[in-house]
Homo-oligomer: A and B are copies of this chain.
Amino acid sequence: MAATIRDIAKEAGVSVATVSRLINKSGYVGARTAARVQDAIERLGFRSNAIGRSLSTAKTRTFGVIVPALSNPVFAEAVSGVTACARKAGYHVMITATNYDSAEELATVGTFMEQRVDAMILTVANAGKSPALDLLDTAALPYVLIYNEPPCTGRPAVTIDNAAAGAKVAEVLQDLGHRRMAMISGRFAESDRASARRDGFLAGAHSAGLAMPSVREVDFIALNVDAVLKDLFDDPPTAPTALFCSNDLLAISVIGALDRMGLPVPQNVSVIGFDGIAIGTHLHPTLATVIQPSREMGEVAAQHLLHRLAGEKATPPCRLPFTLRLGESAGPAGNARPADLQDPANPREGDSHYDR
């Protein structure tokens, strides 16, 4: 149906090699010939077939991207970064969501291998123990993790220091006067980064001399936080005054649920999320959170792969800086007015900077 390079060659009275050279600007083509071929291409509406090209070059100029879910804006944002960066370099992107299912991770990697993607960018449940990554390693296919905690195995990753961020959250809450904290998280089994955030948070609380925060897991998809919150705030005197949520969507749900329980944020409870999704800044109260440079992570991952595919032997930047945004959902403990403890003009500075 569609015109092929041979049709063009015949139409222009030249050989296929000449047409190919013109399309790819490789080799010599005379000016008059080029014009004739170009004319034939337009007359027949020719579009070179990427399949044919891929078969002979053994390159697809395609990245495979695997994320747990597209419905979480944090991943959508990273994917946007990957896509934009890839597109600029003439690469395309195939995307699949695994729904946090490790079996789907493996299946998708297999599918992408059959599709002969040139490289993959992915977030898996657990980067330290992943059949999908094992497969990639044995196949020696270039890949970069994003969001995942880079495991000791030295797998290439572009991410942030989740544990440090967790510790930072504990420190900031302590600075705000909070003494009883808790963490609410999605399933740790599905997220090595949530585990790292928890570990950092607990360590931070411990080194601040605070009681061990209670940690609760919820089903992140169902987002039924009510039961967990009822339980946590059952006994007011011992209830936490600050909650650390393992991601922003969860934090937003928690804030809504607390409001409905008659525990307004931040007057009665402070809430800090994780991710820095855009919508957080438009809410009232604005969401206090740890901002991951999601878009940049996608871009850096794609850029690294482009370099690798170009033959360079660059190691990927492993850790990107995170930013703590002290939004309105986190306030001083004890119903004090925010101004009492917190001076907006002089946000505290740590090893990561604040952003208001």
Residues of chain A whose beta carbon lies under 8 Å from any beta carbon of chain B: 2, 45, 47-52, 54-55, 60, 62, 69-71, 73, 76-77, 79-80, 83, 87, 92-97, 110-111, 113-116, 138-139, 223, 249, 252-253, 255-257, 259-260, 278-279, 282-284, 286
What chain B residues lie within 8 Å of A49 (beta carbons)? 114, 116
- Determine chain A's interface SS by DSSP, over half rule: helix
Q: Across the interface, do B71 and A76 meet the contact criterion of CB distance under 8 Å?
A: yes
CA distance A87 to B193 in the complex (A): 27
B50, B115, B256: the one contacting A92 at CB < 8 Å is B115
In the assembly, how many copies of this chain are there? 2
Q: Across the interface, do B70 and A79 meet the contact criterion of CB distance under 8 Å?
A: yes
B2, B71, B115: the one contacting A50 at CB < 8 Å is B115
What chain B residues lie within 8 Å of A62 (beta carbons)? 94
CA distance A114 to B54 in the complex (A): 11
What chain B residues lie within 8 Å of A253 (beta carbons)? 282
What chain B residues lie within 8 Å of A47 (beta carbons)? 110, 113-114
Q: A70-B76, A279-B249, A284-B260 are in contact. Are A93 and B94 (CB under 8 A)?
A: yes
Q: Across the interface, do B284 and A255 meet the contact criterion of CB distance under 8 Å?
A: yes
In the complex, the 7 A-B pairs of residues with the closest C-beta atoms, listed nearest first? A259-B284, A253-B282, A256-B284, A70-B76, A256-B282, A50-B114, A51-B54
Q: Across the interface, do A111 and B95 meet the contact criterion of CB distance under 8 Å?
A: no
Q: Across the interface, do B114 and A48 meet the contact criterion of CB distance under 8 Å?
A: yes
Q: Across the interface, do B94 and A94 meet the contact criterion of CB distance under 8 Å?
A: yes
